[in-house]
Amino acid sequence: MSDKLLTSWLESANGDTDFPIQNLPYGVFDDGKGPRVGVAIGDQIIDVTAIDHGQDAALFAVPAWNLFMAAGSDVWSSFRARLTALLSDENNRAAIEPHLVPQADARMLLPFIVAEYTDFYAAKNHAFNVGSMFRGPENALPPNWLSIPIGYNGRASSVVVSGTDVTRPWGQVKGPNDDLPRFAKCARFDLELEMGAIVGTPSSGMVSVAEADEMIFGYVLLNDWSARDIQAWEYQPLGPFQSKATATTISPWIVPKAALAPFRTSTPDRERDLLPYLSEPGPMLYDIELEVGLAPEGKAESIISRTNYSQMYYSAAQQLAHHTSSGCVMRTGDMLGSGTISGESKESRGSLLELSWGGKEPLKLASGDERSFLEDGDVLTLRGAAKGDGYRVGFGECTGKVLPAIDLPDWAQD
């Protein structure tokens, strides 16, 4: 039987679900009995610590997937095969069913311990749009952009799981009419629709793109919350800093690379030949449909963007290979943000900065509201899925609500 036709004895895993047997993503949950590692199937979570998984139990003793990730691809494959057998054969129902926890009854936690976080700027449409706003279309792309995956080192401490509220930041800003900078609440708070690649096995030196691809354990949805007014003042000459340190929200489920394998697709034709160390042995991107929902507080959600991960100019494997090119050691639990994923049309732009063209073209929502940038109470939800024949491999939701900025302490006021 082909993989696309495989079904589970758990009925909710068949049909309209992000989590069919073809997916089996990894998360950490707490149902009131303490945090444990689990795997999503249909509307349930398998408590991995309680089943006969065929692996060393020590790999699952900590409520994070890092030890398992570090064990390598052979362990990943055998564990996935075991789960597939347990969930597809009716004879295993009695052994597994007592260890299923309804997702509705569980609180999701960060699925892994984030070692380091690097965010890239690797979708051409996004880079062109942003560059056009500030430098004009003739100088939109930096001179190095077509040759090198551009990135910056972010804060691992900023990474939070879906459902975590995000507080509007304060920061130093200087507008066009300001003589001097001032300390103010962010007035141009934004989202960035991204994917995150999770490093499983570490590196000890420079690796090829093919080797980098083998190191990647899986993928998450990622929202790189961005304070655009703070960013505009601080980013020269060294790039983003505090403007990107407020929060980075990820989906609670790591979709394994193996689940996405049927959806591989190629990066675009190169406008400039890449150097040999960035050459790809085959398709390195994935056909993953993505969308962004925005709901003002107490109002209906509007879908404000639809795009696809296949829009990236550089794949996660190329980003990872480039990261190691200086001898930089990559560790289990490192996360690489793709950069904002934008398509060619206005409706496929992955940030409000682009959707409202810097605030000059406010976005009209179904609720009747308008948005140039995020307002307090707004709820942002990222969704994504790779769609097969009769099933989809989804990530669940990646959501966060914007809370008002904190009251500024006396010592920080003028």
Identify whether the C-beta of residue 24 lies closer than 8 Å to the C-beta of residue 40. yes
Contact status, residue 212 vs residue 317, Cβ threshold 8 Å? yes
| 100, containing H or E segment | strand 100-102
Phi then psi dihedrals of residue 97, to 5 deg = -55, -40
Among all chains, which residue has been given the structure tokens 């998360």? 27
Count the alpha carbons within 13 Å of 163 in the hemisphere toward its beta carbon: 11
How far apart are the C-alpha atoms of 6 and 24, rounded to whole Å?
A: 13
Query: Which uninterrupted H or E stretch holds 257?
Result: helix 257-260
Q: What is the token pair recorded at 129?
A: 């749009």
Are 339 and 142 in contact by the 8 Å Cβ rule? The answer is no
From 292, 299, 310, select the one nearest 225 (Cα to Cα).
292
* Marked catalytic residue, from 53, 126, 322, 323: 126
Is 323 a catalytic site residue?
no
Q: Are 111 and 254 in contact (CB under 8 A)?
A: yes
The SS3 of residue 101 is strand
Give the residue numbers marked as catalytic: 126
